[in-house]
Chain A
Amino acid sequence: MSATTTVPRSGSTALPAFRPSLKVPVSLGVLALIALVFFGFLGSDKTAEMKISDAGDAVAVPALMIPGQVGGIVLGILLLAMAAYSIYRWTQGEKSPKWLPIAFAVVFVFALLVWIVAGARQPSISLAGLVAGSVTLAVPLVFGSLSGVLCERVGVVNIAIEGQLLGGAFTAALVATMTGSPYIGLIAAAAAGAVVSMVLAVFSIKYLVNQIIVGVVLNVLVSGLTGFLYGTLMVPNKEQFNTPGRLDILPIPLLSDIPIIGPILFEQSIAGYLMYIAVAVVWFGLFKTRWGLRVRAVGEHPQAADTLGINVNATRFWNVTLGGAIAGIGGAVFTLVTIDSFTKDISGGRGFIALAALIFGRWNPIGAFLASLLFGFAYNLQSILGIIGTPVPSQFMAMLPYLVTIFAVAGLVGKSRPPAASGIPYVKG
Chain B
Amino acid sequence: MGVVKLELKGISKAFGTFYANQDIDLVVESGQIHCLLGENGAGKSTLMNVLYGLYEPTAGQILVDDKPVNFRGPGDAMAAGIGMVHQHFMLVPVFTVAENVALGAEPTSFGGVLSIEETRKKIREISDKYGFDVDPDALVEDLPVGVQQRVEIIKALVRQAKVLILDEPTAVLTPQETDELLDIMRQLKAGGTSIVFISHKLREVKAVSDVITVVRRGKVVGDAPPTASATELASMMVGRPVSLSLNKAAAQPKETTFVVENLTVRAANGTNVVDGISFDIAQGEILAIAGVQGNGQTELTEAILGIQEHVTGSVVLDGKQLLGLPVKDVLRSGVGFVPEDRTVDGLVGPFSVAENLVLDLYDQAPFASGISMKPAKVAEHAKAKIEEFDIRTPSAGSAAGTLSGGNQQKVVMARELSRPLRLFIASQPTRGVDVGSIEFLHKRIVAERDVGTPVMIVSTELDEVIELADRIAVLYKGKLVGIVPAGTPRDTLGLMMAGVGPEGGSDDQ
Contact = CB atoms under 8 A, between A and B. Distances in A.
Interface of A: 1-2, 4-10, 13, 15, 17-18, 288-294, 296-297, 300-301, 303-310, 417, 420, 428-429
A18 B93 contact: no
B312 A13 contact: yes
A9 B262 contact: no
B396 to A, nearest CB: 28
B92 A297 contact: yes
A13 B78 CA distance: 58
Nearest to B115: A290
Interface of B: 52, 54-55, 73-76, 78, 84, 86, 89-95, 99-100, 102-106, 108, 111-114, 155, 256, 259, 261-262, 266, 269-270, 280, 309-314, 316, 319, 321, 323-324
Contacts of A305: 103-104
A91 to B, nearest CB: 15
7 contacts: A4-B261, A9-B312, A10-B310, A289-B114, A290-B106, A293-B95, A308-B74
B484 to A, nearest CB: 21
A306 B74 contact: yes
B270 A17 contact: yes
A429 B105 CA distance: 22
B108 A290 contact: yes
Given A7-B323, A8-B324, A293-B99, A308 B114 contact: no
B113 A307 contact: no
Contacts of A308: 74-75, 78, 90, 103-105, 155
Contacts of B52: 307
A310 B86 CA distance: 16
Given A1-B259, A288-B114, A300-B92, A7 B103 contact: no
Contacts of A429: 54-55
B103 A289 contact: no
Contact of B319 (A2, A10, A297): A2
A307 B90 contact: yes
B102 A293 contact: yes
6 residue pairs, one from A and one from B, having the closest CB atoms: A18-B270, A309-B75, A308-B104, A304-B90, A7-B323, A290-B106
Contacts of A6: 312-314
Nearest to B271: A18
A206 to B, nearest CB: 18
Contact of A289 (B92, B100, B111): B111
Contact of A10 (B106, B261, B309): B309
A9 B309 contact: yes
Contacts of B74: 306-309
B112 A1 contact: no
Given A2-B319, A10-B309, A10-B310, A420 B259 contact: no
Contacts of B99: 293
Contacts of A310: 103-104
Given A297-B95, A304-B90, A308-B104, A290 B112 contact: yes
Given A289-B108, A304-B90, A2 B313 contact: no
B174 to A, nearest CB: 24
Nearest to A311: B73
A413 B112 CA distance: 33
Most A C-beta atoms less than 10 A away, residue of B52, B74, B262, B280: B74
Contacts of A18: 269-270
A296 B92 contact: yes
B114 A293 contact: yes
A307 B324 contact: no
Contacts of A301: 90-93
Contact of B112 (A2, A289, A307): A289
Given A18-B269, A293-B102, A301-B90, A9 B310 contact: yes
A428 B55 CA distance: 9
Contacts of A300: 92-95
Nearest to B303: A9
A428 B84 CA distance: 17
Contacts of B311: 9
A428 B54 contact: yes
Contacts of B89: 304
Contacts of B310: 9-10, 15
B97 to A, nearest CB: 13
Contacts of B54: 306-307, 428-429
Contacts of A428: 54
A6 B316 CA distance: 11
Residue in A18, A308, A420 with the greatest tally of chain B CB atoms within 10 Å: A308
B256 A1 contact: yes
A291 B270 CA distance: 42
A308 B113 CA distance: 19
A306 B54 CA distance: 8
B339 to A, nearest CB: 21
A401 to B, nearest CB: 31
A428 B78 CA distance: 18
A304 B106 contact: no
Contacts of A296: 92, 95
A293 B106 contact: yes
A203 to B, nearest CB: 25
Contacts of B73: 309
A18 to B, nearest CB: 3
A307 B312 contact: no
Nearest to A289: B112
Nearest to B91: A304
A52 B504 CA distance: 82
B270 A2 contact: no
Contacts of A293: 95, 99, 102-103, 106, 114
B132 to A, nearest CB: 20
Contacts of A9: 309-312, 323-324
A305 to B, nearest CB: 7
A319 to B, nearest CB: 15
Nearest to A5: B314
Contacts of B104: 294, 305, 308-310
A290 B109 CA distance: 10
Contacts of A13: 312
Which residue among A10, A290, A310, A417 has the maximum number of chain B CB atoms within 10 Å of its CB? A290
A304 B314 contact: no
Among A4, A17, A294, chain B packs the most CB atoms within 10 A around the CB of A4
Contacts of B103: 293-294, 297, 304-305, 308, 310
A10 B265 CA distance: 13
Given A293-B95, A293-B103, 5 more contacts: A9-B323, A9-B324, A294-B106, A300-B92, A308-B103
A20 to B, nearest CB: 10
